[in-house]
């Protein structure tokens, strides 16, 4: 029978189905009978590494042979080694009591890493486990929810009204999400990406127990009244912020570490009565002075948050720490970001933040997230692929992109959106934990140090590579705070100042300062601006004011074609489909040369 006849008679699909079933049967039989595939995994004793990795790889190969399942994971199929648990591991030495104990359980992560295992696992396995945690839909059977604590970690204002059903979720005050990937998923559904406006977070809303906007509720920060005694409204209860993507964030954190170290080195040279300009990687942060009595004067320092400028005396210098994460620059590291978010959004408490064997939220669970777990999630985020550029084949569009890229520089946009910053001294070797972590987050020496080479092709592609011992990071940022609002009644001014949270000072003085948005990947991670209220890049460009007013006016003075060219340039800055090996591609994913050498040569003639 020829294949045409077979298709006509509908037998091909039946044959394929039979073959798949037979292959599955043989696979299961081999796993049960083959001693080489015996795996014994215990949450206490640790993974049997060799057997685990071999069996996991076999499962991937077998699944691929049967038929590939589409995935949005940034990890390749070879990298995405399943994290096996007692319910998924094949083990003919069955612990019947252990299996019976799991019947009926509904936990997203049945088995957690124990501290120390994070440095023993193969990197691919650790990344896969980190992704599993990032995408996990946490349940009350593993500690999700925080009945007696707020999202900021403090006790409820009214402990007689715990956050249990029907008050276990609240879109404004939290918990407000089942999974990290519930908000961080764009583009391509990648866990760790940006988010739609529906995923906006209400920053500082977590200081309330359970937001109700009930004006008759006069207990401050319970549900309807703020700390000043004023009724809370949707506009004043929190700052609505867009969900940022974490692509390339490992490089960003390493840049901030090097810049912080540079600023501190300058600080340490200042004698009483002296001063110094704070400059790192070509970015100026103003002037730091010391008074004759040795105390520190930070009034001329710019672009840093108040916590980085705080000092109690001569022996307590300002940290000058660069905080690269959050729209208003409030988080030093991915690890701090993770510890904060798991408690606020999911009600999952990490041991490094809340203590071993502690149950601060009184949900009946302890050790909900181990230090090893946090390392896995953090490294997963740090290892995410970097964004690239999409240059369409159409010459007219490509020419517009090149024109717009040059205009973007000429009108002054790159004075803040710096095209690239250099990582030197092997700064691409990412280590965990961050040496500048604040208290409540793992410190160097408290946990094993894990090193990841961010340039490795074993990580999700594409990657940045060193040239002349420098990795240029084309993120289009200076990692510095700027006032880009018009002040006063400009709706881009935030109502609350998150930098004052926990300091006993009013929050309602407002906020005008935001860290320069990283523009790599901006085109396919809408919406735009810190609030996410702009659906187009053009709206975001035209909304710039304050320190960016001159550039905005220069943009508006351009011809229609030139303005369109700037937008086309911004549209080229994209997160590329998972596994794309090149940084510059056309619309079909094929590599392109950029900058266009021929155009540059012609322009110089």
How far is 175 from 144, CA to CA, in rounded Å?
Answer: 9
- Please, which residues have CB within 8 angstroms of residue 388's CB and are 6 or more apart in sequence? 462, 520, 574, 575, 576, 580, 582, 583, 584, 585
Alpha helices in 108-173 (DSSP H): 123-135
Q: Is residue 363 part of a domain?
A: no
Q: Is residue 535 part of a domain?
A: no
Q: Is residue 81 part of a domain?
A: yes
Nearest to 424 by CA among 369, 372, 473: 473
Query: By mean pLDDT, which of 252-261, 390-399, 559-568, 595-604 is the weakest?
Result: 595-604
Nearest 5°: the CA angle 241, 247, 248 is 125
Torsion of CA 248, 253, 259, 263, to 10 degrees: 160
Q: Is residue 96 part of a domain?
A: yes
User: What pLDDT band is residue 602 in, cutting at 50, 70 and 90?
Assistant: low
pLDDT digits (tens, 9 = 90+) for 459-502: 999 999 999 999 999 999 999 999 999 998 999 999 999 999 88
| Cis peptide leading into residue 342 (ω within 30°) | no
Q: Is residue 532 part of a domain?
A: no
Residue with token string 């991670």:
525
**137 to 279, 350, 521: CA distances (angstroms):** 44, 16, 27
**pLDDT, position 88:** 39
Q: Is residue 68 part of a domain?
A: yes
**pLDDT, position 455:** 98
Q: Give the number of domains in the chain.
A: 1
Sign of the CA dihedral running 554, 557, 563, 567: positive
Determine the straight-line distance between the first and last CA of the chain, rounded to whole angstroms: 68
| 311-340: average pLDDT | 98
User: What pLDDT band is residue 132 in, cutting at 50, 70 and 90?
Assistant: very high
User: What pLDDT band is residue 95 in, cutting at 50, 70 and 90?
Assistant: confident
How far is 432 from 477, CA to CA, in rounded Å?
Answer: 23
**pLDDT, position 23:** 44
pLDDT digits (tens, 9 = 90+) for 268-324: 999 999 999 999 999 999 999 999 999 999 999 999 999 999 999 999 999 999 999
> Residue 18 belongs to what domain range?
3-105
- Please, which residues have CB within 8 angstroms of residue 437's CB and are 6 or more apart in sequence? 332, 333, 335, 336, 443
User: What pLDDT band is residue 399 in, cutting at 50, 70 and 90?
Assistant: very high
A 10 A CB-CB count for 310 gives 14
Q: Is residue 482 part of a domain?
A: no
Question: 396 or 13: which carries more pLDDT confidence?
Answer: 396
**pLDDT, position 599:** 64
Q: Is residue 297 part of a domain?
A: no
How far is 366 from 319, CA to CA, in rounded Å?
Answer: 33
43 alpha-carbon distance from chain centroid: 28
How far is 210 from 214, CA to CA, in rounded Å?
Answer: 11
How far is 463 from 284, CA to CA, in rounded Å?
Answer: 28
């Amino acid at each position: 029978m020829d294949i045409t006849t077979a298709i006509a008679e509908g037998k091909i699909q039946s044959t394929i189905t039979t073959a798949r079933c037979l292959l599955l049967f043989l696979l299961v039989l081999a796993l049960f009978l083959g001693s080489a595939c015996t795996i014994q995994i215990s949450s206490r004793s640790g993974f049997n590494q060799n057997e685990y990795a071999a069996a996991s790889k076999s499962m991937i190969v077998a699944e691929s042979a049967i038929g590939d399942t589409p995935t949005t994971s940034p990890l390749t199929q070879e990298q995405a080694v399943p994290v096996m648990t007692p319910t998924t591991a094949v083990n003919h030495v069955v612990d019947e009591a252990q299996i019976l104990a799991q019947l009926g359980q509904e936990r997203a992560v049945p088995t957690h890493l124990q501290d120390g295992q994070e440095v023993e696992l193969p990197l691919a396995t650790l990344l896969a486990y980190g992704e599993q945690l990032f995408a996990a839909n946490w349940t009350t059977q593993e500690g999700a929810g925080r009945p007696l604590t707020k999202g900021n970690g403090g006790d409820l204002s009214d402990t007689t009204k715990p956050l249990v059903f029907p008050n276990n979720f609240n879109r404004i005050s939290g918990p407000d999400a089942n999974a990290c990937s519930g908000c961080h998923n764009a583009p391509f559904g990648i866990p760790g990406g940006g988010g739609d406006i529906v995923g906006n977070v209400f920053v500082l809303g977590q200081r309330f127990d359970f937001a109700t906007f009930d004006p008759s509720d006069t207990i401050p920060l319970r549900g309807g009244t703020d700390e000043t005694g004023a009724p809370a409204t949707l506009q004043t209860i929190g700052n609505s912020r867009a969900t940022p993507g974490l692509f390339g964030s490992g490089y960003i954190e390493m840049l901030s570490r090097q810049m912080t170290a540079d600023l501190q080195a300058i600080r340490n040279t200042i004698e009483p009565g002296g001063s110094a300009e704070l400059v790192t990687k070509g970015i100026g942060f103003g002037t730091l002075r010391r008074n004759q009595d040795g105390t520190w004067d930070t009034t001329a320092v710019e672009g840093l948050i108040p916590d980085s400028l705080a000092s109690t005396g001569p022996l307590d210098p300002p940290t000058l720490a660069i905080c690269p994460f959050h729209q208003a620059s409030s988080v030093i590291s991915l690890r701090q970001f993770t510890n904060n978010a798991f408690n606020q959004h999911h009600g999952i408490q990490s041991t490094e933040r809340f203590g071993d064997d502690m149950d601060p939220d009184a949900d009946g669970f302890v050790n909900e997230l181990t230090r090893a777990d946090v390392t896995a999630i953090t490294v997963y985020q740090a290892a995410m692929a970097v964004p690239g550029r999409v240059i369409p084949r159409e010459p007219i569009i490509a020419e517009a992109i090149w024109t717009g890229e040059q205009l973007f520089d000429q009108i002054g946009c790159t004075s803040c959106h710096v095209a690239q910053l250099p990582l030197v001294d092997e700064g691409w070797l990412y280590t965990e934990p961050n040496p500048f972590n604040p208290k409540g987050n793992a410190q160097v020496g408290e946990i094993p140090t894990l090193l990841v080479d961010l340039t490795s092709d074993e990580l999700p592609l594409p990657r940045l590579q060193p040239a002349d011992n420098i990795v240029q990071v084309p993120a289009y940022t200076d990692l510095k705070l700027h006032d880009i609002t018009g002040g006063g009644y400009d709706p881009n001014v935030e109502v609350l100042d998150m930098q004052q949270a926990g300091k006993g000072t009013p929050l309602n003085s407002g906020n005008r300062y935001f860290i320069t948005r990283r523009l790599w990947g901006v085109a396919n991670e809408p919406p735009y601006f810190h609030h996410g209220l702009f659906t187009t890049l053009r709206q975001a460009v035209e909304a710039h004011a304050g320190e960016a007013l001159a550039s905005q006016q220069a943009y508006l003075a351009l011809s229609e074609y030139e303005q369109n060219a700037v937008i086309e340039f911004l549209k080229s800055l994209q997160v590329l489909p998972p596994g794309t090996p090149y940084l510059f591609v056309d619309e079909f994913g094929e590599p392109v040369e950029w900058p266009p050498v021929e155009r540059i040569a012609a322009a110089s003639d």
